[in-house]
């Protein structure tokens, strides 16, 4: 893991959800609460499913199970975008995209990273595929939804990537007087709002925030260090 946030901001809260204890960063403290539990809860559910399997009984197995799952999801998203690029643009461009994606060192690390930016990357690929694929009709609402999920549950700044596509829809609506474009934009906006409301609702359903050890990982004492939890993949 190359990013300390992956440990303290996501693995530790997930460890808490799955095992009942873990270190708390100030972002999850009730005093600030700038992190949503929806993202950690989603991945804790995946780990919970993995623990039902015969080979998912140890913490190391949980760690690798989630990374394998994330890699599989990323591969599906890349395959979807590759198929759309090949069909809409040309097979040669699709092949170039595939070669670049497979050989990129950044993709090697980002595809399995338990980080909101990686989650946003998955959603961005699905959003791009939706906007590019006009077969059977425009999929503007679906594209906006995927960018909304990536920005709402993952990395908020990634939502800005939808702006060029929304501008294109607005220009099409202005030049052609096509009301369907407005309906597509409204549909996508409603879906995004539903995602954001669901994210907030999930966060409010975690009363454990009030019971979690208020000790911040940046204010550890010598006695608390001896009581630190064993992190995923380190034992």
**What's the confidence (pLDDT) of residue 216?**
44
Which residue(s) pair with 216 in the sheet?
24
What separation, in Å, do the N-terminal and C-terminal C-alpha atoms of the chain show?
A: 15
Position 2 scores a pLDDT of 78
Contact 140, 165 (CB under 8 A): yes
| Rounded-to-integer distance, Cα 133 and Cα 87, Å | 8
* pLDDT band at 202; cut points 50, 70, 90: confident
Angle (deg, nearest 10), helices 59-88 and 12-19: 120
- Mean pLDDT, the chain, rounded, equals 83
Residue 24 in 3-state DSSP?
strand
pLDDT in tens, 20-66: 888 878 887 777 778 888 899 899 999 999 998 888 788 999 999 99
Instruction: For residues 162 and 185, give the distance between their C-alpha atoms in angstroms, rounded to a whole number.
Output: 11
CA distance 40 to 206: 11
Neighbours of 16 (CB within 10 A): 21
Task: Give yes or no for a contact between 142 and 134, defined as CB atoms under 8 angstroms apart.
Answer: no
Please name the residue ranges forming H helices in the chain. 4-5, 12-19, 37-50, 59-88, 91-103, 105-110, 116-132, 140-149, 163-176, 179-204, 222-225
Helix pair angle (12-19, 37-50), 10° resolution: 60
Beta-carbon contacts of 67 under 8 Å, excluding residues fewer than 6 positions away, are: 112, 114
Burial category of 21 from C-beta neighbours within 10 Å (exposed 0-12, middle 13-18, buried 19 and up): middle
pLDDT at 206: 65
């Amino acid at each position: 893991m190359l990013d300390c946030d992956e440990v303290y901001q996501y693995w530790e809260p997930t460890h808490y959800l799955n095992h009942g204890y873990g270190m708390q960063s100030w972002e999850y403290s009730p005093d600030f609460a700038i992190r949503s539990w929806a993202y950690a809860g989603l991945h804790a559910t995946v780990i919970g499913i993995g623990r039902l399997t015969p080979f998912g009984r140890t913490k190391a197995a949980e760690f690798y199970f989630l990374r394998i799952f994330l890699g599989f999801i990323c591969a599906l998203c890349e395959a979807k975008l590759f198929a759309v690029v090949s069909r809409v643009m040309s097979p040669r461009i699709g092949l170039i995209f595939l070669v670049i994606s497979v050989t990129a060192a950044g993709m090697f690390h980002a595809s399995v990273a338990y980080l909101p930016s990686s989650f946003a990357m998955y959603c961005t690929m699905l959003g791009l595929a939706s906007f590019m694929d006009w077969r059977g009709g425009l999929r503007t609402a679906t594209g906006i939804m995927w960018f909304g999920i990536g920005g709402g549950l993952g990395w908020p700044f990634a939502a800005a990537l939808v702006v060029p596509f929304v501008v294109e829809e607005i220009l099409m609506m202005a030049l052609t007087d096509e009301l369907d474009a407005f309906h597509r934009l409204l549909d996508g906006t409603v879906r995004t709002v539903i995602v954001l409301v669901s994210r907030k609702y999930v966060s409010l359903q975690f009363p454990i925030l009030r019971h979690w050890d208020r000790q911040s990982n940046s204010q550890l004492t010598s006695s608390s260090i001896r009581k630190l939890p064993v992190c995923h993949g380190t034992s």
